[in-house]
Amino acid sequence: MKETSFNHSSTDLSSIGRYLLIIVVVFVVVFTTQAQSNRDEHDSCKKAELLEKYKSQKIAYLTDKLSLTPDEAYKFWPFYNQYADEKAVLHRKIVLDIKAQKSSERDPDASLSKMFAYKEEELAIEKKYTSKFKEAISSEKILKLFYHEKEFKKKLVEKMNSRMKSKRPDKD
């Protein structure tokens, strides 16, 4: 009977150790990536839920403040949703533009020019949709719309600030 030798050289053990290390590292990387992906997905879902909640509250608030009849609401909301989408695209563009420039690299004159260009673009959107809104609601209600939109945002910011203050530990 032939005996099998279990005497491995140290290079065989070190190569096995390397393979085990590689397997462990790959496992850790995959697990960490998956966990981060799940966290990002959860955060994304939470943001989507918050956005939907915000939109629902805004619709209820504006419908109430404008005293929209069912017929007015039926005609108005499709226009308003398009308007809100266009403004959101513009605001994302502004945010991306600001993030793209480091504050030390900003040319103040160029920044002022861009700021006014963005305001002009926002005004063009408001003018465009004001004529569409007139197909659904009166000019008086359109004026109320612009006022109450700002009021809604103001109240939302106040609410968020009070929540943040209540979550902070006291520094007494």
At 124 the pLDDT is 97
Give CA–CA dist 102/111, Å, rounded.
Answer: 12
Could you give phi then psi for residue 135, rounded to 5 degrees?
Answer: -75, -15
The per-residue pLDDT for range 139-159, each reduced to its tens digit, is: 999 999 999 999 999 998 998
The per-residue pLDDT for range 97-130, each reduced to its tens digit, is: 887 776 666 788 888 888 899 999 999 999 999 9
Supply the pTM of this predicted model: 0.66
For residues 146 and 62, is the Cβ–Cβ distance under 8 A? no
At 142 the pLDDT is 97
